[in-house]
């Protein structure tokens, strides 16, 4: 069995995830820097001309606050990317059927899963993503054959041949999921 990270489509999906994380981080840092520069320019204009610039203070606060939030989101995604890459380098993909149990609640039924067996339990997962488009993309995979791999004690990564990306999920309850 080859580790999941050796799969070319997995590497491409992880690279895309990392690129998105870097965009969030860079965009956030740019927002913070622009906010500070705008603040410095506003203070200089106010000191030189003696007149105040209305609403510039609010704009500075918005730029710095939104920039810091975006940079934090990008940093978190980069940390998650590293954790996923390490985890996928150690385990192979498992194929199985994805079932949707709620807006962000899913169940992964590994190949050979028998729902008639009273002792068989799917891996119950909750999506890590809070973005609407990623949640909807996973919901469209209801009943599809997907690949999944545990990358930590309670964390899983999902991928599909239909979507060129990876999705993170946390195990919830049950014997197999947690």
**Cβ count within 10 A of residue 72:** 13
Q: Can you give the residue range of the structural domain that contains 129?
A: 94-171
DSSP 5: G
Same domain, yes or no: 36 and 61: yes
Per-residue pLDDT at 162: 80
Residues of the chain with pLDDT under 50: none
Task: Single out the residue in 54, 88, 122 at which a domain terminates.
Answer: 88
Domain membership flag for residue 72: yes
Q: Cα–Cα distances in Å, from 150 out to 137, 147, 155?
A: 20, 11, 6
Same domain, yes or no: 106 and 77: no
Domain membership flag for residue 22: yes
Per-residue pLDDT at 124: 92
Domain membership flag for residue 176: no
Same domain, yes or no: 103 and 45: no
Per-residue pLDDT at 82: 97
Same domain, yes or no: 25 and 42: yes
**Cβ count within 10 A of residue 173:** 10
**50: region left, alpha or beta (phi > 0 left; psi from -120 to 50 alpha):** left
Residue that is written with structure tokens 């998650």 in the block: 80
Per-residue pLDDT at 126: 94
Per-residue pLDDT at 133: 86
Per-residue pLDDT at 174: 57
Domain membership flag for residue 178: no
Same domain, yes or no: 74 and 126: no
Same domain, yes or no: 47 and 18: yes
Q: What percentage of the chain reaches a pLDDT higher than 90?
A: 70
Cα gap 123→172, rounded to integer Å: 8
Counting the structural domains of the chain, the total is 2
Q: What is the pLDDT of residues 26-59, one digit of tens each?
A: 999 999 999 999 999 999 999 999 888 889 999 9
């Amino acid at each position: 069995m080859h580790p999941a990270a050796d799969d070319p489509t997995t590497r491409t999906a992880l690279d895309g995830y990392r690129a998105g994380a870097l965009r969030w981080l860079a965009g956030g840092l740019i927002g913070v820097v622009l906010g500070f520069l705008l603040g410095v320019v506003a203070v200089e204009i106010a000191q030189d001309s003696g007149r105040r610039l209305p609403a510039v203070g609010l704009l500075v606060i918005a730029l710095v606050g939104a920039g810091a939030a975006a940079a934090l989101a990008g940093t978190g995604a980069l940390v998650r990317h590293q954790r996923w890459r390490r985890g996928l380098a150690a385990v192979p993909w498992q194929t199985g059927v994805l079932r949707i149990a709620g807006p962000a609640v899913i169940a992964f039924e590994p190949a050979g899963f028998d729902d008639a067996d009273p002792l068989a339990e799917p891996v119950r997962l909750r999506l890590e993503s809070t973005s609407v488009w990623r949640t909807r993309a996973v919901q469209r995979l209801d009943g599809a054959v997907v690949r999944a791999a545990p990358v930590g004690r309670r964390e899983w990564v999902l991928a599909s041949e239909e979507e060129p990306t990876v999705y993170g999920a946390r195990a919830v309850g049950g014997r197999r999921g947690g």
